[in-house]
Structure 1
């Protein structure tokens, strides 16, 4: 493969791989023929660097231990805590007084429905989910014969209460 015109030649480290790079690095280090470790600083000669690295190492170990202890304490806390799971079809959770999902057609204590079939809730329903059919009784009052809420359209605005 020919190099492109004007393109710089690739460095030799890229052409002969990591093994060649390691050989060249060792050759540069040992140019005097002495001990390969002679160019390195001894740990005792480092002075301030020694203290810094020891401190850094100690802090890393301490940090890791505290993180592990924190994680284990959280695990143990949740292991012995009361479970939140309910056996749903047979047990039901208590509903909040502000729950907006229950639709109820209320009744008087006598058992008669409170709805007088005025159809205002059908007209006001923002999702148009309420359908009311009514008829007149013998005494002249109107009562519902059919009161349906299409739950697929309902946005739970708490209107029919």
Structure 2
């Protein structure tokens, strides 16, 4: 049993890192999502669950925050050992937020506020399906500087 401890720990760490890698890729300022259009995110992962106007002056610095929530109860590996509840393979809750320019809808930043990488049971695995959809099905909508992204406010559930 002792011989399997180190390989098993290495396997769990590797599986957790796969989910974290995609979320870091989504956050990357030179990546696919940052710099894309909010309409691209809405087409690939759906209408945001929540939207909020951050700055509403009518000027070029107006911002919008959009949030998508995702929950997945299926895990590839679910273990309960003493006080540890370890789920590997996508179980958990994920929230993805995007900070967006009002005029044109350019995505300035993408964050995952619930996810953390300091434990094996982190929610990065739960974010992976949402991030995968956003990265692989990004339609690259042309930017229209006259389009008002605040029109998405109220479109949320």
Q: Which has the higher strand share?
A: 2
